[in-house]
Amino acid sequence: MNSQQEFVLRTVAERDIRFIRLWFTDIFGRLKSVMMSSSELEGTFEEGAGFDGSSIEGFSRISESDTLLLPDPSTFQVLPFDDDEPELQTARMFCNVINPDGQPSLADPRYILGRQVTAAADDGFSCMASPELEFYVLDIDPHTGAIRRTDTGGYFDQSVNQKSPMLRRRAMHALEAMGISTEFAHHETAPSQQEIDLRHADVLTMADHVMTFRYILKQVAAQDNVHATFMPKPFQEHAGSAMHTHFSLFEGDDNAFHDPDDEISLSRTGRQFIAGVLEHAPEISAVTNQWVNSYKRLQFGSEAPTAATWGVSNRSALVRVPTYRLHKAVSRRAEIRSLDAGANPYLAYAAVLAAGLKGIREEYELDDPAEDDVTSLTHRERRAMGYRDLPTSLDDALRELERSEFMAEVMGEHIFEFFLRSKWDEWHNYTEQITPFELDTTLHY
């Protein structure tokens, strides 16, 4: 029993916490949970909690179904919604998924990101991440399924008589209660669209935070009888929802991306990291943008990247280098703008980090920054300027992924093969539909 486990057991006893939720995710980033009595916690720390891995899509075959959840005590937090019912007080911990022989499950996305964190440490780096999470808050009629917007606001609008400002405040309060530091919150560009930004943390902790964020937002929204959605692009006429994430690498206490002698204070290491992300952007797109709907945002979303470019303060580029506080070393970072709100944060962050580290190890060279509005350029114009287009559909993205030895290594054979099979099924199910557009334009031909 280590000191963190002892702290958790002591806290559970002192606060009379009755239930523990063991959290983990499937390959696509859906949150999964096993509830247990707090009396089982000490034994679970020692031996893990068994569950049927074959019941979780992509985890294991039925003949190899015995799987264990091993709680990570560093992720222990009391859930914030049971204050008025102390007899139901519940805490949660994220878990590492392991096999009966004690080896990590190769189907566990958290383990896949952990491998890249270890690889970064072997190179002398720790990775910090800070996402800007966008989402819509909607009324959905439980009988008809009709979708109604909950406000008519726009970018930074301050509403005084609608639900969104109160929802943001209550969500931030709940997140802070769970030890998740927030920075800013505001109304986004579209009616009913919101954004909350999280303060930077190490990349594995941040992936846990993103999963918790989605859970908390949906719970807070449900209390107002509305629905929070992280669908990348729910409306044709409005902007999509992104998960722009700021990455930086540290060597001890020093930001490896900072160079005070550079014009934009960006070091050679930072440039190589960005070059790695750009070089591998097409082949990681199926992971950073994993849904059919993701490509509606990339093709038609406001300020969504369409090509593998970088820019200085350029919000149309795939990678943006912010120029706030150039003199402040800890502020130097690279903002990856392709990630959408529906990504599995463990796999998406693993792909970005692996690409950046490869750029550093192999000393990739970074081209000149894009100064144009890349989104407004035609395909021909982008090609003439030397920009590589990002995939425009899940089909294109899967073809890039299928050819990628780099991503097969990052994801591991098990997840790589299962992800491809499942996503090809999604694409085929989508393309075989006869849509209202086709009926409207062709039925009377």
Distance CA 436, CA 64 (A): 44
Give the pLDDT of residue 62. Answer: 38
**What Rg, from alpha-carbon coordinates, does the chain have?**
22
pTM of structure? 0.94
- Across the chain, which has 445 residues, the per-10-residue mean pLDDT values are 92 94 95 93 91 64 66 95 78 94 92 98 98 95 87 79 76 94 92 94 98 96 93 94 97 96 95 98 98 94 87 91 86 95 97 98 94 82 87 97 98 95 96 95 93
Give the pLDDT of residue 63. Answer: 34
Give the pLDDT of residue 83. Answer: 66
Amino acid found at 430: Y
Burial class (CB in 10 A: 0-12, 13-18, 19+), 221: buried
Q: Quickly count: other Cβ atoms within 10 Å of residue 59's Cβ.
A: 24
Give the pLDDT of residue 164. Answer: 60
Q: What are the residue ranges spanned by the domains of the chain?
A: 3-100, 114-412
Strands in 141-270 per DSSP E:
147-149, 182-187, 193-198, 201-202, 227-229, 243-251, 254-255
Comparing CA positions, the residue from 308, 356, 302 lying closest to residue 123 is 356
Could you tell me the fold of the domain covering 3-100? Ubiquitin-like (UB roll) (3.10.20)
Burial class (CB in 10 A: 0-12, 13-18, 19+), 367: middle
Distance CA 151, CA 159 (A): 9
Q: Tokens 């006893």: give the residue.
A: 13
Q: What is the pLDDT of residues 104-132, one digit of tens each?
A: 999 999 999 999 999 999 999 999 999 99
Phi, psi of 157 (to 5 degrees): -60, 140
Give the pLDDT of residue 295. Answer: 96
Residue 349 DSSP SS3: helix
Domain 114-412 has CATH 3.30.590.10: yes
Counting Cα atoms < 13 Å in the Cβ hemisphere of 90 gives 17
- Contact (CB, 8 A) for 351 and 288: yes
Give the pLDDT of residue 9. Answer: 96
